[in-house]
């Protein structure tokens, strides 16, 4: 299907982008175009003006140090994979980007677009939730920082209002991370995606006398199973302060559904019940990968 005719303008900076957004009845920001353009072709979106922000300098770039990273909204998924600082200090971002779509989409799709689109099966929202990230928004009235759990409103919705521009995401540093995903057979999106971010504490003997680190400040978040990405509080509670042994990780994974909230998502390929049923397995694999426990990483 061909999209309806639409005007196009390239913004030079964020204030100009907001002015353009205010100039039309139904203007939309355009970043990588891999969410909006397919929606327009499918007739699901029909903006009258596209405001291209992909070249806005203030939305580009990354700042990384030992405390964490600030990632500009137009950073592409591919750029997350190609940054040694991110790999060292906020590994959940590259670990997740590696599983996101294919190379062609990773080269164009952006962090800001992925978060703003908030598709229930999108991978990056789970990563940002797991790591306790914050989304920065420049809006008509103010600039604000929104904690990730408050940013996503479910079913593809966010707290973004008319004229709001996501400028960056801030992600605190963590020592261990992984992303594991069961992909949808037709689309490659997550039927179940699980992000883990945590710190590792001092080592101590487990029952067998081996040195095993403790799990500190764990964040475990899921994509694809319900109408929104969410943290799995029961899994996190079972991990916090515990040694990362195979038995602890498996027992924590068994609690995956305990705090799962919201309606299950299913389709004729993969039912919601099946997604929920395989969730503990994907959680267990993600935990094993994050904490270097091959027995459960499989």
Ligand X SMILES: Cc1cc2nc3c(=O)[nH]c(=O)nc-3n(C[C@H](O)[C@H](O)[C@H](O)COP(=O)(O)OP(=O)(O)OC[C@H]3O[C@@H](n4cnc5c(N)ncnc54)[C@H](O)[C@@H]3O)c2cc1C
* Binding interface with ligand X (CB under 6 A): 28-36, 38, 53, 73, 100-101, 105, 109-110, 112-114, 116-117, 122-124, 160, 165-166, 188-189
What is the nearest approach in angstroms of ligand X to the Cβ of residue 107?
A: 10
Minimum CB separation of residue 249 from ligand X in Å reads: 25
Instruction: For residues 36 and 38, give the distance between their C-alpha atoms in angstroms, rounded to a whole number.
Output: 6
Question: Taking the alpha carbons of 41, 46, 51, 54 in that order, is the dihedral positive or negative?
Answer: negative
Toward ligand X, which CB reaches closer, 36 or 90? Answer: 36
- Distances in whole angstroms, Cα of residue 215 to Cα of each of 78, 196, 249, 286: 29, 11, 10, 14
- Closest residue to ligand X, judged by C-beta, is 113
Q: CB nearer to ligand X: give 108 or 274.
A: 108
- 294's CB contacts (< 8 A; 6+ apart) are 288
Extended beta strands in 121-189, E state: 134-138, 143-147, 152-154, 157-158, 165-172, 176-183
Nearer to ligand X by Cβ, of 99 and 274: the residue is 99
Residue closer to ligand X by CB (options 43, 204) is 43
Q: Tell me the closest approach of the beta carbon of residue 201 to ligand X, in angstroms.
A: 31
CA distance 240 to 215: 6
Nearer to ligand X, 165 or 171 (CB): 165
CB of 38 to ligand X, least distance (A): 5
Whole-angstrom distance, CA of residue 252 vs CA of residue 83:
32
User: What minimum distance in Å lies between the beta carbon of 60 and ligand X?
Assistant: 11
How far apart are the C-alpha atoms of 183 and 192, rounded to whole Å? 7
């Amino acid at each position: 299907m061909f999209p309806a005719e639409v005007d196009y303008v390239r913004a030079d900076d964020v204030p100009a982008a907001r002015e353009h957004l205010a100039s039309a009845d139904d203007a939309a920001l355009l970043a990588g175009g891999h969410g909006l353009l397919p929606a327009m072709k499918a007739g699901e979106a029909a903006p009258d003006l596209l405001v291209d922000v992909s070249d806005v300098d203030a939305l580009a770039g990354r700042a990384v140090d030992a405390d964490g990273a600030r990632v500009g909204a137009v950073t592409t998924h591919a750029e997350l994979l190609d940054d040694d600082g991110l790999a060292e200090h906020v590994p959940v971002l590259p670990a997740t980007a590696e599983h996101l779509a294919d190379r062609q989409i990773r080269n164009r799709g952006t962090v800001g677009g992925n978060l703003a689109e908030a598709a229930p099966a999108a991978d990056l929202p789970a990563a940002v939730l797991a790591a306790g990230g914050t989304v920065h928004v420049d809006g008509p009235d103010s600039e604000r920082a929104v904690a990730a759990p408050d940013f996503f409103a479910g079913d593809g919705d966010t707290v973004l209002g008319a004229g709001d521009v996501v400028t960056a995401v801030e992600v605190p540093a963590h020592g261990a991370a992984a992303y594991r995903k069961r992909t949808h057979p037709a689309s490659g999106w997550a039927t179940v995606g699980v992000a883990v971010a945590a710190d590792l504490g001092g080592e101590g003997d487990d029952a067998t006398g081996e040195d095993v680190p403790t799990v500190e400040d764990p964040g475990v978040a899921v994509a694809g199973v319900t109408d929104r990405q969410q943290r799995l509080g029961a899994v996190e509670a079972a991990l916090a302060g515990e040694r990362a042994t195979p038995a602890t990780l498996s027992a924590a994974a068994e609690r995956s559904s305990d705090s799962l909230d919201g309606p299950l998502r299913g389709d004729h390929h993969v039912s919601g019940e099946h997604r929920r049923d395989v969730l503990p397995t994907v959680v267990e694999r993600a935990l094993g990968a994050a904490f270097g426990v091959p027995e459960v990483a499989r």
